[in-house]
Amino acid sequence: MKRRDFLATSSLAALSLPLSGAASGIADSPPARLLPVPLRKGDTVALVSPSAAMDDPLDLQIAQEVLEALGFRVKPGAHLAARRGHLAGTDAERAGDLNAAFADPEVRAVICVRGGSGAARLLPLLDYDAIRRNPKALLGYSDITALHCALQAQTGLVSFHGPNGSGSWNRFNADQFRQLFLERRLMLYRNVADAGDELVQRRNRTVTLTGGKARGALVGGNLTVLTALAGSPYLPDFEGRILFLEDVSEAPYRIDRMFSTLRLMGVLDRIAGLVFGECTDCDPGNGYGSLTLSQILDDYVRPLGIPAYTGAMIGHIRQQFILPVGGLVELDADAGTLRMLEPVFRA
C-alpha cells in the first residue's frame, strides 16, 4: 500500500472512532479524591520553585520569613535559587525538588515560591506514585495551575490555589491561610464588602451571569495555563465540576480563543457551574472592534444555563481566596459565594 493510501485509510478509520477521553484530553475515569495530611504549627514545609526564577534573591528570603511567621519550619528545595534562562533551574532540577518534597517524611506541605512559566514542562517528570503514597498540600497559583491540574488528573490529590510564597501575605491572605490550613474551617468564600469612600461599592463586586446554586468539586485556575494542557493526560475531569478561572495581561481576543477551545473540547458542556475571578489588565486595547470580557462571557457562559458569576477574589490581585482544588463546594451565583461542603484534610 502506498503511503498516501495508508494515511487516507488511517484517517478514515480514526474518524469512525468515538472521541475518547484520551483523545480529548479529558480523563475517562478520574482517580478518587485524595486528601492531604493536615498542617500544624511547628511542622516543616518545603519551599520550591517549579516555574520561573526569582529576579531578586531577597524575595526568596521574604518567602521563607513569611512561612516562618505563619509558624512553620522551612526546608528550601535544593535548587530553589537556581537559574536556567528564565526558569528556576533545569526541568530535572525543578521536578527533582518537587519529588523530593513529596517523598520527604519530614515535610508536611509544599509551597511554590512563584509562578511565571515552566511548570508544565515538569509534568511527565513527576513521581505520581510517590505523591499518592505521600499526600501533602501544595499551594500556589498562576503557572502552578499546571501542577494543580496534573495532581487532579493523575492522583486525585486536593491542592490549594492561592498566594505563592513570594506573593503578598497581607492580613486577608494570612487569615485565609490560618483558617483553612490550621483551624481547618469549612470556608465561605465571599468578597470583601468595602465601599471605601464611594457611595456604593465598586471594587470586589460580583456579577451574576446566571442565577442558582450548584454543587461539585472545584477545578480550574489560570485560563491560559489550563487550556495549554488540552489533549494531554494532565487535564482533569470536568464532569459535574465547578470551574473557576482567572487570568492576567491577556487581550480579549485571546480570552475569546481560549473559551472557544474549552467549548470545542466539550469542557463547558460538562461543568455544573462557573466562577470567573479577576482578569487583571485584560481590557480592550485602543482601536475598533475588540470584544470586551463581559461580551465574551455572555457568548460562552450564559447560554450554558448553569449557575455562574464573575468578580470573585481569585487571580493576580493583592487579596485572594485560597481555594481547595478538588474540594467539594456549593456555588451560589445569586449571592456570589462558594462554600466548602467537606473537610479537605485527613482526619
Q: Which of the listed residues 126, 150, 182 is the one where a domain comes to its end? A: 182
DSSP 177-202: HIIIIIS----EEE-----TTSSS--
Q: What is the pTM of this model?
A: 0.91
Q: pLDDT by residue (tens digit) across 277-335?
A: 999 999 887 666 789 999 999 999 999 999 999 999 999 999 999 999 999 999 999 99
Query: What value does the mean pLDDT take over residues 90-95?
Result: 98
Number of domains the chain contains: 2
Q: Are residues 193 and 175 in the same domain?
A: no
Query: Per the residue annotation, which of 142, 148, 159, 166 is the catalytic one?
Result: 142
Q: What is d(CA 186, CA 337) in angstroms, rounded to the nearest whole number?
A: 13
Q: Are residues 163 and 201 in the same domain?
A: no
Least confident of 26-30, 58-62, 218-222: 26-30
Query: Per the residue annotation, which of 93, 246, 250, 278 is the catalytic one?
Result: 246
Is residue 79 part of the annotated active site? The answer reads: no
State the angle between helix axes of 252-265 and 293-300 in degrees (0 to 180), rounded to the nearest 10.
10
Q: What is d(CA 136, CA 120) in angstroms, rounded to the nearest whole number?
A: 20
Query: Per the residue annotation, which of 79, 148, 161, 316 is the catalytic one?
Result: 316
Is residue 86 part of the annotated active site? The answer reads: no
Residue 78 is classified by DSSP as: T
User: Domain of 124?
Assistant: 44-182
Model confidence at 197, pLDDT cuts 50, 70, 90, reads confident
Is residue 316 part of the annotated active site? The answer reads: yes
Residues 6+ apart with CB under 8 A from 186: 339, 340, 341, 342, 343
Q: Are residues 205 and 332 in the same domain?
A: yes
pLDDT exceeds 50 at position 15? no
pLDDT exceeds 50 at position 212? yes
Number of H helices, E strands in the chain: 11, 14
Looking at residue 85, its pLDDT comes to: 96
CATH number at residue 301: 3.50.30.60
Looking at residue 288, its pLDDT comes to: 65
CA torsion, points 291, 294, 296, 297, in degrees to nearest 10?
A: 180
Q: Are residues 218 and 85 in the same domain?
A: no
* Dihedral sign (CA 93, 221, 236, 158): positive
Decide if 153 is inside a domain.
Answer: yes
Model confidence at 201, pLDDT cuts 50, 70, 90, reads confident
Model confidence at 12, pLDDT cuts 50, 70, 90, reads very low
Decide if 77 is inside a domain.
Answer: yes
Residue type (1 letter), 293: L
Q: Please provide the average confidence, as pLDDT, over all residues in the chain.
A: 92
Looking at residue 285, its pLDDT comes to: 73
Q: Compute the chain's Rg from CA coordinates.
A: 20
pLDDT exceeds 90 at position 22? no
Decide if 125 is inside a domain.
Answer: yes
Least confident of 6-10, 58-62, 131-135, 233-237: 6-10
Q: What is d(CA 219, CA 260) in angstroms, rounded to the nearest whole number?
A: 18
Q: Are residues 203 and 147 in the same domain?
A: no
